[in-house]
Amino acid sequence: MTKLLSAYQGVVNETVISQLRQLGSRLTGRSVVHVNSTREGGGVAEILDWMILLMRDVGLDAHWEVITGNSDFFSVTKKIHNGLQGFPVNISKREWQIYREVNEENAVRLRPILKEADLVVIHDPQPAGLLGLCPDRQGKWIWRAHIDVSRPARSVWRELLPFVSGYDASIFSMSQFAQPLPHPQFLIPPSIDPMSPKNMELDPEELDSVRHQYNLAPDKPLLVQISRFDRFKDPLGVVAAYRLVRAIQPVQLVLAGGGATDDPEGKEVLDEVLEAAAGDPDIHVLLLPPDAHRTINALQRLADIVIQKSTREGFGLTVTEGLWKGKPVIGGDTGGIRLQLVNYHTGFLVNTAEGAAHRIRFLLHHESLRNKMGIKAREFVREHFLLTRQLREYLTLFHILSSGVDSSAIYI
Ligand code: UDP
């Protein structure tokens, strides 16, 4: 598969493209390997899908490797994930041992490619242990944390620290997540691909057909939250907010999500959501396959308001996806959602189901404001959260690390 930077001309201006080509030309032929823990499902896979191809197009020899593990491993890494996002968890010595062992198994398979690579980007905690298992590495290694590590459970952070300290640099999505670490840290928020099936323009016939397929009423305001079924995404809070609105006016809700292969809690949360939604024909809980990108795109476009009521969020790509489609977004006042939602401009930040309901009703009653906010929302994304900005920041970081300049004084 190929993806060409030139296709983005028109979405962003020409100088953006030529700057990326210039940066790429300084890195021609350098090998970069990204490693994460799932090929599909969740924001990291969504980003790596385009990033590998565009890095190749600007001249890098880019690869994407995925670690494998059994269900015990992914239960432990989900606990680590929850702990890093501030949820109190107890991880036993045996569980940390499982974490180490699975990293060792993956290191055996990946070592040949990792030790030769000029640059290695390890995404999130699951594969973080690989660094210590490649003692003869030649390139620079970066740890990229996508989650909200602003207030980690101390015991989890303490155990993880020896795995991440040895990296040459780390990347966080926002300054609030930066941690005391013995290497330079860079701030690079995620971004979306405006031309992917998830975000491209769709014609009205396709929107109609998705509306019919899921039995959505054309004349009732539609609220949409797209998320893995994860407690931090607060789907039950969304149902509660919907109920408060529904008590006063007609409205319908879509909660759509699928599983990620590295997320073992999804089934449990989905069951809770189904129970909360039972018997209400205006709540549509959709379990979508991993490649349902156009369907998600259509649902976001059909929405009057996009919701992302997370209680913790590293970034929340679904917020940018909604904004790009010209929708005001109501999002949890947390983590990376705060980078994207500017009250009264691109959406609203909320802390409770009651607050969300209040903002939903306000927006449903102010159609012209809603439209104006939608226009601002799209331009805000064009300026800050398209893939070209993120690619530029990665290439700049690669250039800094491979040219050996003192990166401690450099800010991205
Ligand atoms: N997503 C998807 N199918 C689903 C649920 C989510 O394709 O059933 C996509 C969603 O559109 C977004 C990404 O997965 O692109 C989720 O990224 P986000 O940063 O919002 O959350 P994460 O899952 O990484 O915590």
Q: Residue ranges of the domains in the chain?
A: 5-191+386-403, 204-384
What is the per-residue pLDDT for 259? 66
- For 152-169, the pLDDT digits (tens) are 999 999 999 999 999 999
Q: 296 in ligand 1 pocket by Cβ < 6 Å?
A: yes
Q: Do domains 5-191+386-403 and 204-384 have the same CATH topology?
A: yes
Q: 251 in ligand 1 pocket by Cβ < 6 Å?
A: no
Residue closest by Cα to atom 11 of ligand 1:
318
Query: Does pLDDT of 121 surpass 90?
Result: yes
- Indicate which atom in ligand 1 lies nearest the CA of residue 336: 19
Q: Residue 303 CA to chain centroid, in angstroms?
A: 20
- Which has the closest alpha carbon to 95: 116, 125, 109, 74? 74
CA of 290 to the centre of ligand 1 (A): 10
Q: 174 in ligand 1 pocket by Cβ < 6 Å?
A: no
- Within 10 Å of residue 274's Cβ, how many Cβ atoms? 14
What is the per-residue pLDDT for 11? 92
Q: 74 in ligand 1 pocket by Cβ < 6 Å?
A: no
Q: Residue 381 CA to chain centroid, in angstroms?
A: 15
Pick the residue with more confidence: 373 or 263? 373
Report the range of poorest mean pLDDT among 115-129, 189-203, 328-342, 391-405.
Answer: 391-405
Could you give the residue ranges of the DSSP H alpha helices within 93-150?
93-116
Query: Does pLDDT of 135 surpass 70?
Result: yes
The CATH code that applies to domain 204-384 is 3.40.50.2000
- Indicate which atom in ligand 1 lies nearest the CA of residue 259: 8
CB 4 within 8 A of CB 58: no
What is the per-residue pLDDT for 411? 61
**Residue 410: pLDDT band with limits 50, 70, 90:** low
Report the range of poorest mean pLDDT among 90-99, 261-270, 343-352.
Answer: 261-270
First to last CA, the chain: 30
Domain 5-191+386-403 has CATH 3.40.50.1980: no
